[in-house]
Structure 1
């Protein structure tokens, strides 16, 4: 299950290794399409941590990243943002992006 993170624990949960965070909202249709893709990737890529954040309940972190559209996926490696991807993406597209950062 993809770990839900909040403004309070985002930094601690995403500062080590390769982490993909799905910024989403319950009312967002494309977000509801993206979630199962992220969940499937989590099953297939054990070396990547997958998290998600509801932007309505946690406005500070998305604001800090300048997120203005959702879904937005942020990839961090060892605490540094290495990719910011806006809009729906397929499993293959996301896997190709994540493979660039896994050893």
Structure 2
């Protein structure tokens, strides 16, 4: 697995997300969102040492049930989950270290 680069326009049901085993990051946003675009290099940096973390990038918007089930209000919102349970959440992350810290809560970083 690796960082996903495009937002999926179709979203899985919440029950499918809750049933995922292992570490998962669900990222909510859109391709046209300036905050989302600005966060991509930071997310990529942080994911570099966590290649086994599942990354689901979901396009969000008004009336989208998955984002509403996670109470997403601002983009990007990153939800860090382990075995279907939310462990941490970042809204509009400002640097890679805070993303790395949240990833470390759900996954052991690779040692170089």
Same fold (TM over 0.5): yes
Secondary structure of 2:31's partner? coil
- Which of 68, 92, 95 in structure 2 is aligned with 1:87? 92
Residue 94 of structure 1 deviates from its aligned partner by 0.8
Tell me the C-alpha RMSD between the 2 structures: 2.5
- Bigger mean CA offset, 44-53 vs 74-83: 44-53
Unaligned runs of 5+ residues in structure 2 are none
- Which of 53, 56, 69 in structure 1 is aligned with 2:58? 53
Unaligned runs of 5+ residues in structure 1 are none
**Structure 1 stretches of 4+ moved >3 Å:** 3-6, 9-14
Report the counterpart of residue 8 of structure 1 in structure 2: 12
- Bigger mean CA offset, 75-84 vs 48-57: 48-57
Residue 12 of structure 1 deviates from its aligned partner by 3.7
Distance 1:58 1:82 in 2: 25
Contact 2:29 2:58 in 1 (8 A): yes
- Bigger mean CA offset, 8-17 vs 60-69: 8-17
TM-score by length of structure 2 reads 0.74
Higher strand share: 1
- Which of 17, 21, 29 in structure 1 is aligned with 2:22? 17
Distance 1:50 1:61 in 2: 15
Residue 32 of structure 1 deviates from its aligned partner by 0.4
Distance 1:98 1:2 in 2: 15
How many residue pairs get matched?
A: 103
TM-score by length of structure 1 reads 0.80
